[in-house]
Structure 1
Amino acid sequence: MTHPVSPAPASPLAAPKGRRRARRVIPGFGLGMGITLFWLGLIVLVPLAGLFLKAAGLGVGGIWQIWSEPRVLAALRLSFLTALAAAAFNTVMGTWVAWVFVRYRFPGRRLFDAMIDLPFALPTAVAGIALTALYGGQGWIGRWLEPLGVKVAYAPAGIVVALVFVGLPFVVRIVQPVLAESERELEEAAGTLGANRLQTVARVVLPALWPALLTGFALAFARGVGEYGSVIFIAGNLPFATEIAPLLITIRLDEFDYAGATAIATAMLLLSFVVLLLVNSLQARLQRRGAR
């Protein structure tokens, strides 16, 4: 007579079928998220909230009155236009430099690659003094440019030069690992299918680089908008001509006009947030398009 086989007793460690969860390598999502939010709030949100609260003490009319001052508008316009110009230039030339470092081997390559990080370590005031000595009227480069009518030091062009100097490493270090991990077989396949170099760059290389390029542009722009030390030496700091917004904030603080300084800082913060939001939105759109 055949006896039915009774099922094996369920292990007490076995989770019910409906409650089975994927095991995480690093547990503690709730604790990790709590620490993250607390730290971001303490380091980022609380200071920004204090800035807005200080500016709110002026009221809407008072804030608008400061924002609409011709000197403030000129300083904001100069800061953002020069930061955008320097970031765009760095995006192009930084990509070129990263391409050379990744795709070619030449003597001194490691040395030149390490020199890219010097603007990170060099004090900005030292960079400003060096650039002024180089591009001034009696400098090694300025003495040849000024007779041709090209004035760099104590002009808006000098601000762009300083921002290019401090912003180049951001683009190079963002684009370089992406280029190193790119598949060269795709470029070779495009060449064998009849694509010329321009078509290969436009249809094979750039689509994979766009997110990194936009990230490098955003970082270089953010650094340029808030740059102070390297700019004030080469700019000349003339109101309505070469006076940047961070310098105007410092001037207001020296005059004990704390409310006016916070109002200008709030304008810079809002404008920077709008630009970075547009860049991040474009980056997300390109990533979704590339994932299709």
Structure 2
Amino acid sequence: MSQVKAVQRNILPGFGLTMGYSMLYLSLVVLLPLSALLLNSTGLTWDKFWDVATDPRVLTSYRISFTTSAVAALIDTLLGLLLAWVLVRYEFPGKRLFDALIDLPFALPTAVAGVALTALYAGNGWVGSFLEPLGIKVAFTQLGITIALMFIGIPFVVRTVQPVLQDVQPDAEEAAATLGAGRFRTFWSIILPDLIPPLLTGFALAFARGIGEYGSVVFISGNMPMKTEIAPLLIMSKLEQYDYAGATAVALLLLLISFLLLLFINSLQRWTRRSAR
């Protein structure tokens, strides 16, 4: 019996070594950059930080970044669920190509995506030339920023929901149909509760990616202060002007707000998982 317990305790051989490598990797990639940001803020006085944090241009850039990221992530959540459903539940010609295209924003450089979207939605672009006569201007507006963030965020939702949807057993759906439940009632009561945690995870990932996105937005936004200027672009502008204290203050505030929002989303995700059990 003691030998069985010993085997169970050592079911992961080399845990100390792998844990050490994991902590080293985490420190180099995440902890050291954040530490450098905090150390760089030591020369930042509270008055300077407050002046930067309450500057109308900075507040507007935060509002634009968080609003467009949230709207894009919410739309991606709905569209991602639809795309994952089609990929899992249906067979059609070109399915593998369609599935591969979902990952295109991962492989495509964000600057290339920004140039392509700007050329597509500009006033003389293929899509913009039809929308602007209708009074819908996309390029160099917050709508254009939202579309760019939707483009880079959609794979996070699809790839998070797709494996969970594949694991959903059809037995419960068949039982619900036998008892007379319609398709909408079956989806709402049987399938959706299992999909809420991955949907929240996909939303959080798309939202976090959108907050820090720069390359795909810098072209289509137009970079107009108080109108289409996002927070990452404002940080770059301050760095180009050698305003390191101001850039550090904007980055710290952006980091703090992002951390609190992600903490709230993760807490909500854990609560939904407990409720589902």
TM-score under structure 1 length normalisation? 0.90
Match of 1:61 in 2: 47
Match of 1:163 in 2: 149
Match of 2:254 in 1: 268
Count how many residue pairs are aligned between Structure 1 and Structure 2: 277
1:223-282 CA distance string (max 9 Å, x none): 111111111111111000001111111111101111111111111111111111111001
> Structure 1 residue runs of 4+, over 4 Å off?
14-17
Match of 1:124 in 2: 110
Residue 226 (1) aligns with residue 212 (2): yes
Match of 1:35 in 2: 21
Match of 1:241 in 2: 227
C-alpha contact (below 8 Å) 1:214/1:279 kept by paired residues: yes
Shift of 1:15: 4.8
Identity percentage over the alignment?
57
Per mean C-alpha deviation after superposition, the further-off stretch among 52-61 and 170-179 is 52-61
Find the aligned partners of 2:3 and 2:139 in 1 and give their Cα distance.
Answer: 73
The letter for the 2-side match of 1:140 is W
**What secondary structure does 1:34 align onto?**
helix
Find the aligned partners of 2:256 and 2:189 in 1 and give their Cα distance.
Answer: 35
C-alpha contact (below 8 Å) 1:55/1:63 kept by paired residues: no
Find the aligned partners of 1:276 and 1:122 in 2 and give their Cα distance.
Answer: 26
**What secondary structure does 1:161 align onto?**
helix
Shift of 1:20: 5.9
Find the aligned partners of 1:80 and 1:25 in 2 and give their Cα distance.
Answer: 44
Find the aligned partners of 1:114 and 1:33 in 2 and give their Cα distance.
Answer: 33
5+ residue gaps, structure 1, are 1-13
Shift of 1:31: 3.8
Per mean C-alpha deviation after superposition, the further-off stretch among 80-89 and 48-57 is 48-57
The letter for the 2-side match of 1:101 is L
* Higher relative helix content: 2
1:76-134 CA distance string (max 9 Å, x none): 11011100000000000011001001000000111111111111111111111111111
**What secondary structure does 1:235 align onto?**
coil
1:21-65 CA distance string (max 9 Å, x none): 734222244443333333322321121122122123212222111
RMSD, aligned α-carbons? 1.7
Match of 1:7 in 2: none
The letter for the 1-side match of 2:134 is L
TM-score under structure 2 length normalisation? 0.95
